[in-house]
Structure 1
Amino acid sequence: MLKNNLQGLWKYRVPFLGIFSIATALVLAFAWTGGFLGTGVTTKEFLGDSLDHFPPGYRRAHGKGMCFSGTFHASGEAVPLSTSRIFLPANIPAIGRFSIGTVDPHAADNSTATVSMALMLVGDDKSQWRMKLNNEPYFATRDAEGFLAQVEAFEPVAATGQPAPDKVAAFFQKYPEARKSVEREANATWPASFAGTEYNSINAFVLIAADGKRQPVRWSMRPHAAVEMLSKEAHAQASHDFLFDEITQRVGVAPLYWDLVFQLAEAGDPVNDPSQPWPSNRKEVIAGTLEVNQVVEQTHGACRDINFDPTLVPSGIALSDDPVLAARAGIYSQSYNARLREIGFGKATDAVGKKEIK
């Protein structure tokens, strides 16, 4: 039985390895900030200064990005669910960032299938809601330790250049939920545009109403533009900056729009497991519409110095007990503090000419 299961999954080894080689820096940050390594060896001793080996001034994950600005048009539909003033019917400023899922800020846009949206909304009471969303619908594993286990299990053996089958088998035995992620990534098409992509919070949060009622939710930014995907063959032939060039051209012609859609959990839905999507028939509430009307190079845009830590939420929104969500705060803090030091000392470089930012 085990042999048959491995043979069925082994055809996915190449894309799976590619995905997690891109995610290695994020995985290391999980280890660094969460203390997830075994007893006897500290994370500092294990990692040394590996988190310092990044191009100065850039985020430690999703290093290549572009700032955007616009307006969030709150519909008022979420007011019964949360006391946050951000949901009151109004037009409020929005600052955000589009990015791709790679560490290298100079990487080709077709080096990854992951695209992301970060966003900060500021209410009339100066409260801030920061979020980070990806095009993946769920995490591969149920906890942060699983990211470390993935890297270790799928590390190529020197003799064969492929992962050791016994380690892969042990990983799937401990984290069976990762199988669906492997299969999805192996068969997935690739984003053709930031504009035609739906972005997902993945982690669960809790909306708190005026009467104290707590409603667990996940949310998505659902595009008004048609969803656009590329085959892997077309993606491989795409130009170096095709995603960023395309979004610049589109916003230059007309604004782009996404609906902020809450999915409401019901009793029994796994609120603390980001690897498990909720049933598609759960009730949805459209809290408003994001309008993006300007994009700017990230080294000069307003998003450059913003820490898009998704655990920074306003009154009326609370964090769930998702362990991956808890670990993310430390990751964002490490990256943000390092970038500020580098920019402050004039060590940061721009994305095109690689000139120092003073």
Structure 2
Amino acid sequence: MVKYASLAKACFITSLSLISSASLASEKSIAELVDAVNGTLDDASREAGKQVKLRNHAKGFCTSGNFIPAPELQQHLDIPFLNQGPIKVTARFSLGGTNANLSDKTPGRFMSLKIDGEKESLNFVTTNVPIFFASNLEDFYSFQTKIKEGPQGKQWLLDNKPDAKRFLDYVAQLPPSPSFASSRYFGVNSFYFRQQSSDKTAEPIAGKWIFEPLAGTAALSKDELAKMDDNFLKAELLSRIETQPAQWALYIQLAEQGDIINDPTVSWPDSRTRLLAGKLVIDGKRDSVPEVSQCGDGIFNPVLLPKGITPSADPILNARTPAYTESFIRRR
């Protein structure tokens, strides 16, 4: 666990050092992975992408709230950061892909969070799909390039990549939600959590994040969806929180012996123990401050972690920060 502990302190600047090490895990460089996401596989399109500040999750908006840790978590896990009062939150809700005009009628929903205490922070990058489409960087590159080829590329993935097929099949049956507030959000990557013990010798335990909406989940029927316009999600959430906040319970789903830790294409059984970590409250009360209103210009660093939480060896997780940093640099 020692070699991962240093990653827990990673911030925007130090994440640059991860680029070379993450690249070694794949024949593809971090720059090539960003090109695959952006669809900029040649010099001309890459330069054009820089001019328009091309990015993933292009359609989205920022808002704010707070996180209220659950005191009972400390009975099980030793995470001092989650043993305090309400902590300010910056949130970005978005859709996937580089199309800033993507219709809200598509099923994907994403929630990224910065929970910033006085001395430590905890960032989240979550999605409403509990499994990822690739377990390694080569398959990630293949997925991103093939999916942009249209029906032929998608069919190739269905025929040749079981992880991508499982993901695409799940998304195909996922009905769009009427609100960001009525979606569950999953952290598909695993982390290690320090367990409570009197002598501090207990082995860390692997876990994944799950956000459960306190108002319950909801889905639009085909008839309801047909009546919606292509841009309903932002207005709905901002209108909702004017009268009452959107809220989620945050759980840590714990792995058991035999569970696969470093593969985000694998979900664990629902029977696994879940510990309540706290409550996320999105109320928009800090939306006017620059750190919130301009949050879309920065990155959400999933390995910026407080003491007691460290990254797993998941190659997708450990490529996220250098890839986000590469994308950030191109948008400057």
Shorter-chain TM-score above 0.5: yes
Greater radius of gyration (CA)? 1
1:58-207 to 2 correspondences below 5 Å: 60-110=55-105, 112-124=106-118, 126-151=119-144, 153=146, 156=149, 162-163=151-152, 168=156, 175-207=161-193
Deviation at 1:134, TM superposition (A): 0.6
Please tell me the residue identity of whatever aligns with 1:329: T
Displacement after TM superposition at 1:129 (Å): 0.8
Give deviations 1:39-98, integer Å, cap 9, x for gaps: 9xx888954364554486867111121211111111123324544322104211111111
Structure 1 counterpart of 2:326: 334
Alignment of 1:1-358 (within 5 A): 34=23, 36-37=26-27, 47-48=42-43, 50-54=45-49, 60-110=55-105, 112-124=106-118, 126-151=119-144, 153=146, 156=149, 162-163=151-152, 168=156, 175-209=161-195, 211-212=200-201, 213-232=203-222, 234-235=224-225, 237-294=227-284, 296=287, 301-339=293-331, 341=332
Distance 1:87 1:184 in 2: 33
* CA–CA separation in structure 2 for the residues paired with 1:327 and 1:315: 21
Cα gap change, 1:202/1:293 in structure 2, threshold over 3 Å: closer, same or farther? same
CA distance in 2 between counterparts of 1:92 and 1:106 reads 33
What amino acid maps onto 1:163 in structure 2?
Q
> What runs of 5+ residues in structure 2 fail to find an aligned partner?
1-18
From the superposition, tell whether residues 93 and 59 of structure 1 become closer, same or farther in structure 2 (CA, over 3 Å). Answer: farther
How far apart, in 1, do the equivalents of 2:153 and 2:242 lie?
A: 49
Name the aligned partner's letter for residue 335 of structure 1: S
* Contact kept? 2:184, 2:210, Cα under 8 Å: yes
Q: For residue 5 of structure 1, what is the aligned residue in structure 2?
A: none
Find the aligned partners of 1:135 and 1:337 in 2 and give their Cα distance.
28
Going from structure 1 to structure 2, the CA distance change for 1:56 and 1:76 (only over 3 Å counts) comes to farther
Structure with the largest fraction of helix: 2
Letter in 2 for 1:332: Y
2:308 counterpart letter in structure 1: G
Contact 1:219 1:260 (C-alpha < 8 Å) held by counterparts: yes
Structure 1: unaligned runs, 5 residues or longer: 1-29, 342-358
Secondary structure of the corresponding residue to residue 64 of structure 2: strand
Q: Assess, with a 3 A threshold, how the Cα gap between structure 1 residues 247 and 146 changes in structure 2: closer, same or farther.
A: same
Q: Summarize the Cα distance change of 1:58–1:207 in structure 2 as closer, same or farther, 3 Å threshold.
A: farther
TM-score, L = length of structure 1: 0.73
SS in 1 for 2:251: strand
Mapped to 2, the partners of 1:180 and 1:298 lie a distance apart of 41
Instruction: Compute the TM-score of the two structures, normalised by the length of structure 2.
Output: 0.79
- Residue identity opposite 2:180 in structure 1: F
Give the fraction of aligned pairs with identical amino acids, expressed as a percent.
Answer: 28
| Matched position secondary structure for 1:333 | helix
2:128 & 2:153 partners in 1: Cα distance? 30
- SS, match of residue 169 in structure 2: helix
* Higher relative contact order (Cα pairs below 8 Å, separated by 6+ residues): 2
Offset from partner CA, 1:296-338 (integer Å, 9 cap, x none): 4999715234420212212211000111111111221012233
